[in-house]
Each structure stands twice: as structure tokens, then as C-alpha cells.
Amino acid sequence: MEFGEQYTYPDLEDEITCVFIGIHEPYEGYWAESENHVLNLMKKHIEENVKSEKKLLLDAGCGEGRLIADFSKYFDHILAIDPDRFRLSIAKETVQNIGVSDKVHFDDTPIQELEEQEKFDVILCSHVLQHVHTDLIPKIIDKFKRILKESGLLLILTCHSTTGTDYFVKEFLNESNFTEEIVNENDHNSLVSGINQLPIHLFSRKSIKETLEKSDFEIIDYKVFHILEKDLGASNLSERDLLINQSPDLQDKYGRDVFVAARAKGQ
């Protein structure tokens, strides 16, 4: 089953993810610190490249709306979409609590089915692509291309493969014990609409590049983050994330997650 109106995100209350972080975080506070560094890079791209008089953002897969607070000040209007209606209801409460309800509109339409009446300066797709059916990925990227303005930015956060090729895992808790198992693509796709088993597609640089190029995007920034190896001898963010991102060879060997900024070729 593809994302649709009955979709429920498999990791209820993000319990599986929180346990994963607790096990693998190299030092306390690193997970949030590493992601915040990437969010700041994204904001820099927005500040330097978005010049429209009325700035429009699509938060594609907004979940509980946690990134709206970070990015709302850069935009005049935000469309936040998510097929999980329960998480979308939490996002609405989040927006009300931070006082930006007047500029945010919500929709539970799946990304690939979104109407193409409006074009956006920026599309933010955070930690979504790794959980969707693999057949949907090219459809989603094609949709992004059609609804971006000519000078628009596509900002993606997703899971990163350090093996040089894509692979799939499922994560779950068994009596509070965390387990991550490698699965095949068909198993991954069958888990997309399940509960309490989190399917994850880890993308290689090669597959990200090829997928974006097929929809006429080019990559303008590529950074890995959440460097979880504990034997690097690096005890802070500048030594860990910034060091690894100095070299494409190191990027390909490290990083649980990756940030990609892209825009249409020739722009």
C-alpha cells in the first residue's frame, strides 16, 4: 500500500527513533547538535537564494510540524502536508502554539497527489523519502520539479548509505530491546504501511544523484551528518561533522543521514 489517506507513520511517538539515538549517539546532545548545524546550512541557502516578493514554502511530509518553527520566519506562506492525520493534528497545535497559524495551511494529501496550482520557492522534504515505497520516489521528485518556481530550491534530509549502494533495514522494539535488521526492497515496501516496525531506505550518493538528475535537478550542496562512529577521536561537532564533510571519500564512508540541496539544471 502506498501513502494514502489511511496512512499511519509506523514509529508511534518516535519511540523506536529515540531508542536508536540513545544507543548510537557518540556523546550526549550530539544528535540534535548535528541536525541543527544542517538546519542552519539550509537557512543560509534560503537567505542567499530566495528573492521572491512573496516567499512560499512547501513542507512535504511535515509530521508533527517540528521544523515549521525553524523556517516560518523566512516565508510569507507555508503549505504543510502529511498523510498521517494524527501527526498533522499535532502539527496544527504546534503552529498555534508558536503563533504562526495565519501563514500556514495544512493538507493531508500525499505528496505525489498534490495539485499543481501553486509553485513554491522552497520545498523541504525532511526524513520522508527513506520511509516511502520505492516506486513512489521518482514520482515524488518529479512532482517537486513541477511545483517549484524556476529558481526554486529543493532541500532534502534522508538516510545515508555508507556502503556505496542502497540498502534497506527495519527497526523495531521487542520488549524494549532495539533491533535493526537488513531486509530486501520488497520487504521494505511491504512494511511502509505497518505499525511498530520502521522501514528505512538508506541512499547512496550515486542513487541520490541519479534520481535527482532523472527529474532534471542538479545537486548544489551535499553534507552528511549524524556521524555515529564512536572511535573517530572527535569529541565535538566541528571535529566530527566538519572534518568528514571536507572529503567526498569520507562522506561516502560516514553519516547516518544526508542533507541535499538541489535546483533545476541550468538555473
Q: Which residues contact 109 (CB under 8 A, 6 or more apart)?
A: 81, 83, 115
Give the pLDDT score at 219.
97
Which of 24-33, 164-173, 204-213, 225-234 is predicted least confidently? 225-234
Give the pLDDT score at 5.
47
pLDDT band at 73 (very low <50, low <70, confident <90, very high): very high
- pLDDT tens profile 103-141: 999 999 999 999 998 999 999 999 999 999 999 999 999
User: What mean pLDDT is predicted for residues 12-24?
Assistant: 95
Q: What percent of the chain lies above the pLDDT cut of 90? A: 86
Question: Cα 10 to the chain's mean position, in Å?
Answer: 16
User: What mean pLDDT is predicted for residues 22-50?
Assistant: 94
Interaxial angle between packed helices 205-214 and 136-147, expressed in degrees from 0 to 180 and rounded to the nearest 10 = 50
User: What mean pLDDT is predicted for residues 52-61?
Assistant: 96
- pLDDT tens profile 246-256: 999 999 999 99
Q: Is the pLDDT of residue 233 over 60?
A: yes
The structural domains of the chain, ordered by start, are 12-264 (3.40.50.150)
Give the pLDDT score at 27.
87
Phi-psi region of 13 (alpha: psi -120 to 50; beta: other; left: phi over 0): left
Give the pLDDT score at 194.
86
pLDDT band at 102 (very low <50, low <70, confident <90, very high): very high
- What integer best gives the mean pLDDT of the chain? 93
Task: Please give the full DSSP string across 206-259, using - where no structure is assigned.
Answer: HHHHHHHHHTTEEEEEEEEE----TTS---SHIIIIIHHTT-HHHHTT--SEEE
User: What mean pLDDT is predicted for residues 35-49?
Assistant: 96
Count Cβ atoms below 10 Å from residue 101 Cβ, excluding itself.
12
Give the pLDDT score at 103.
97
Give the pLDDT score at 80.
98
Give the pLDDT score at 239.
79
Q: Is the pLDDT of residue 2 over 70?
A: no
Give the pLDDT score at 1.
37
- pLDDT tens profile 152-168: 999 999 999 999 999 99
pLDDT band at 238 (very low <50, low <70, confident <90, very high): low
Contact at 8 Å (CB) between 44 and 37?
no
pLDDT band at 74 (very low <50, low <70, confident <90, very high): very high
User: What mean pLDDT is predicted for residues 163-175?
Assistant: 95
More confident residue, 181 or 193: 181
